[in-house]
Amino acid sequence: MSRFKELWRASITATKKALTWNAEDLIPPSEKYIFRFNSMEELKRWHLYSDSEYGGIFSGNLALDLAEDSKWRLNRSGFCGMRSKKFNGFIDLDAYDTLALKIKGDGRSYISTIYTENWVNSPGQQEDNSWQAFVFVPKDNWYIAKIPLDQYLPTWRGNVIDADLEMNPSRIVGMSLSVNAEGGVPGAKSGPGDFKVEIDWIKALRTE
């Protein structure tokens, strides 16, 4: 068979496949698992800054005071968090509009953070961009919290940035969940004391 005929047949085959493609094959699934807290290997993907155990449990005690002999002198206390380790590359959530977490907890308000690639490439600015939203965790019952990505606000070290910025969901480098003794959604438990939240999974959803 001549080289021309081989190319011609290959072209015809490719054209037939293209004509039989279903548009749904080009659309990502309506949901995408990001984390499933069902194994020790999965937990190793996170840095935990409090007591933790198998099963995705995040717990501890919040205190507003520091011992007089403490070497730390903080303006803000009563804060604890857990953060995922750096991804190998990026998580691309450009096809999705909502982050969902299956959680069970203590009636407190937690802070969900998404970290994206830094838009500033300079030696003095190496931290990832952070986008934060409050999530309420009802007490004692499993609950699926859904947070639209456009509700995440740009922040710098816990403070909201007063600027017209948009998240780039195709360049996500990490996530975290944290708790603060003060602040949160109205009606949520606050103040010093014990806290505990269990996490089953984190997903990205396409709801629109």
In angstroms, rounded to a whole number, what is the distance separating the alpha carbons of residues 99 and 195?
Answer: 23
Percent of the chain with pLDDT over 70: 67
In angstroms, rounded to a whole number, what is the distance separating the alpha carbons of residues 35 and 50?
Answer: 19
Q: Closest Cα to residue 198, out of 54, 46, 33?
A: 54
Residue 146 is predicted with a pLDDT of 96
Look over the chain and give the mean of its residue pLDDT values, rounded to a whole number: 76
Confidence of residue 122 (pLDDT cuts 50, 70, 90): very low
Over residues 7-35, the pLDDT tens digits come to 556 565 655 554 554 544 567 789 999 99
Task: Say if domain 32-205 classifies as CATH 3.30.565.10.
Answer: no
Structure tokens at 4: 């021309």
- 125 contacts: CB under 8 Å, gap ≥ 6: 118
In angstroms, rounded to a whole number, what is the distance separating the alpha carbons of residues 22 and 4?
Answer: 30
Number of CB atoms found within 10 A of residue 208's CB: 7
Confidence of residue 153 (pLDDT cuts 50, 70, 90): very high
* Pair type for strands 57-62 and 98-104: unpaired
What dihedral do alpha carbons 142, 136, 100, 133 form, nearest 10°? -160
Residue 124 is predicted with a pLDDT of 53
pTM of the predicted protein model: 0.72
- E-only strand ranges, the chain: 31-36, 46-48, 51-53, 57-62, 79-84, 98-104, 109-116, 129-136, 143-148, 153-156, 159-160, 172-180, 193-205
Residue 197 is predicted with a pLDDT of 85
In angstroms, rounded to a whole number, what is the distance separating the alpha carbons of residues 137 and 196?
Answer: 10
- Whether 49 shows a pLDDT value over 80: the answer reads no
Over residues 128-140, the pLDDT tens digits come to 889 999 998 888 8
- Whether 191 shows a pLDDT value over 50: the answer reads yes
- Better-predicted residue by pLDDT, 188 or 78: 188
* Pair type for strands 172-180 and 79-84: antiparallel
Let me know: does 90 contact 117? Beta carbons within 8 Å: yes
Angstrom distances, CA of residue 102 to CA of 53, 69, 82, 107: 17, 40, 16, 14
In angstroms, rounded to a whole number, what is the distance separating the alpha carbons of residues 112 and 110?
Answer: 6
- 54 contacts: CB under 8 Å, gap ≥ 6: 40, 43
